[in-house]
Amino acid sequence: MWPLLAPAGGFSVVFVALPLIGLFVLSLCNWTLTRARSPSFAGVSNYARMLSDEAFWGSLGTTVLFTLESVLLQLALGLAVALLFNRSWRGIGLIRTLFLAPMMIAPLFAGMIWRLVMSEEFGFLKQVLLAVGIENPPLWLNDPTFALHAVIMVSVWQWTAFVVLFMLAGLQTIPPELYEAADLDGCGALRRFRYITLPMLMPFLVSVGMFRCIDGFKTFDLIYAMTAGGPGESTQTISYFVYQQGLNYFDLGYSSTLALTMLAMVVAMTWGLLAAGRRASTR
């Protein structure tokens, strides 16, 4: 048995355990490439710096807001679209395929496309709003009030199809006999959804919600392509903050601390969502 597990174990050690150990060791050091050629031991000073860094807490708040708003919208829209697509309409297969198209685009390219669409100078969205009589369209990517929500809108546009796939799979597992019995009892559409569809789909909702929360929490490419963390720091997520500290300011010690903290947060969030999923599946 052990010889069979050795390749997987060696892979985990080389590509998972050793990089994490190196990241932890580097988080205990001061090492800015523009100031020193080698790291110096700093203990927990990077962690103390992180806890007192207003930029870190701001990026954490932005990340939480982005994750919650985007995931909740994706779940709500994904469930609604799945219920709509779960029918035998003529051409429904083609419609489903076209609906999945945004998910096939790389997030970096999607962000670049939508940055052009929302451009203040020549954006298609601005021209449409002007054409319908809105004289002062929002500055989607240049106004701190709208910038984060604009990125969230693009995330919802791209990844709602992922939720739809999960929900369609879940709807196929619901026995039709349950709906037939509900019809005989005189239950309307809302009561069937509340007492049959939603409880049966809850494990699927928790699972896809977990995947989308993990992906939303570490979102970088959309932010990088659309706003570069701006205007100001209104769209700066933790991932982009780590990128700035490590690859813009070359502060490897502090960026390692931030990256390790972000990893711990994602693990804790995943553990909580898995626990919620187990509770939902046992009800």
Average pLDDT over residues 150-162: 95
Examine the pLDDT at 267 and tell me if it is beyond 80.
yes
Q: Look at 163 and 207; give whichever has higher pLDDT.
A: 163
- Interval 120-149: pLDDT, tens: 888 888 888 888 888 888 888 988 989 999
pLDDT in the model for residue 1: 66
- Interval 10-33: pLDDT, tens: 777 777 788 899 999 999 999 998
Among the ranges given (8-22, 142-156, 157-171), the one the predictor scored with the smallest mean pLDDT: 8-22
Examine the pLDDT at 241 and tell me if it is beyond 90.
yes
pLDDT in the model for residue 167: 93
Q: What domains does the chain contain, in order, with CATH numbers?
A: 55-83+96-281 (1.10.3720.10)
pLDDT in the model for residue 283: 61
Q: What is the CA radius of gyration of the chain?
A: 23
Among the ranges given (219-233, 245-259, 262-276), the one the predictor scored with the smallest mean pLDDT: 262-276
b/e for 191-213, b at 16 or more Cβ within 10 A? ebeeebbeeebbbbbbbbbbbbb
pLDDT in the model for residue 281: 61
pLDDT in the model for residue 18: 87
- Interval 184-197: pLDDT, tens: 888 888 888 888 89
| Measured distance CA(134)–CA(162) in Å, rounded | 33
Report how far apart, in Å, the C-alpha atoms of 278 and of each of 48, 210, 212, 246 are: 36, 12, 18, 38
| Average pLDDT in the chain | 89
Q: pLDDT band at 90, cuts 50/70/90?
A: confident
- Interval 213-226: pLDDT, tens: 999 999 999 999 99
Percent of the chain with pLDDT over 70: 98
- Residue tagged 């997987």 (tokens): 8
Contacts of 102 (CB under 8 A, 6+ apart): 110, 157, 158, 159, 161
Q: Is the pTM of this model over 0.75?
A: yes
- Torsional class of 228: left (φ above 0), alpha (ψ -120 to 50), beta (otherwise): left
Residue 256's Cα: distance from chain center in Å?
A: 21
